[in-house]
Amino acid sequence: MKNKTNLIIDTDPGVDDAIALMYAINCGNFNIQLLSSEGGNGPIENITANAIHLTELFNVDIPVVQGAPTPIARPANYGTSAQGKSGLGGYSYNKKKLKHKPIDGEACDVIYETLKKNKTKTTIVSIGPMTNLAKMLQKHPDSKQYIKEIIFESGTKEKIYGKPYKSFNVGYDPEAAEIVFKSGVKLVMVPMELGHFAYLDKQDIKRFKNTNEIGKIFAKMFKKYHDYHVGKLGAAVHDVCTIYYLTHPEYIKTEKAYIEIKYYKTDKDDFGYIDIDFEKKPNATVCVDLDINMFKYDLFDVLENKLNLN
């Protein structure tokens, strides 16, 4: 049997984060060693509780460490307009009934110690802002020797209304992303376009609802989950594309590119974004397309056939 990949997931759940965690936990490919939370889709206490709740929902014992509550150099600007007040769309749960608590320690230190204990390099999936990872690289510069690659969701190849687009994860803390990009760690970028290709239409959401108890919970999440690019067509599930890159790279088209953080400042705007140059010497792999039919087949295979519902 193929050895499972050691995985650390840095996350701010988040409806699409929740889908990614469902897929990663249940597909059978990974030894998920740690979830590190950070503010982004909501305040850090809510986000950490969401991460813990999801591990309990999927019946797994994965430690959760509470991470950065705010960006490195900016005030927090939460993504609640897209993800809902709780971060999990139209779904709610009783936080007082959580059975677990976050483990002790600062996230940047706990991630570092988790990396160090492995005999081989570890893959990090970043599906939230990169604040925890940036702090780790600053505090523990030798940490990069233990990282196989960082696969992250954010950014876009396109301009919107003639100017760069502030995609959420990087836009929330661009200074953190800049530290990560300049670290020399191997990078795999999953831009938001992939999530717009890999969206769940109304029939897919109905199928979720009719599958099992977990599917019904996700259907509730989708009710108040707003991706403003997909709109009323359905629910874009950007974050799960990072996991799909690991499980089924044969169904994802990639190109090499040079990526860096740039800043857009006017009287009305002040934000960071990812600039992509396919002509420069590359420092990253950029996912540019995926097979939507196979993506949905594999996603529903996990939801319908591989969940631990005990």
Catalytic residue among 53, 100, 226, 238: 238
Cβ contact 86:42 at 8 Å? yes
Gap between the Cα atoms of 173 and 75, Å rounded: 9
The C-alpha torsion from 214 through 248 and 193 to 137, rounded to 10°, is 90
Backbone phi, psi, residue 229, to 5°: -90, -40
Cβ contact 173:131 at 8 Å? yes
Beta strand 187-190 with 147-153: parallel, antiparallel or unpaired?
parallel
The C-alpha torsion from 15 through 19 and 20 to 24, rounded to 10°, is 150
Residue 229 annotated to the active site: no
Q: Is the dihedral of CA 23, 29, 33, 36 positive or negative?
A: negative
Beta bridge partners of 290: 252
Cβ contact 219:205 at 8 Å? yes
Task: Kindly report the length of the chain.
Answer: 310
Give the catalytic positions in this structure.
238
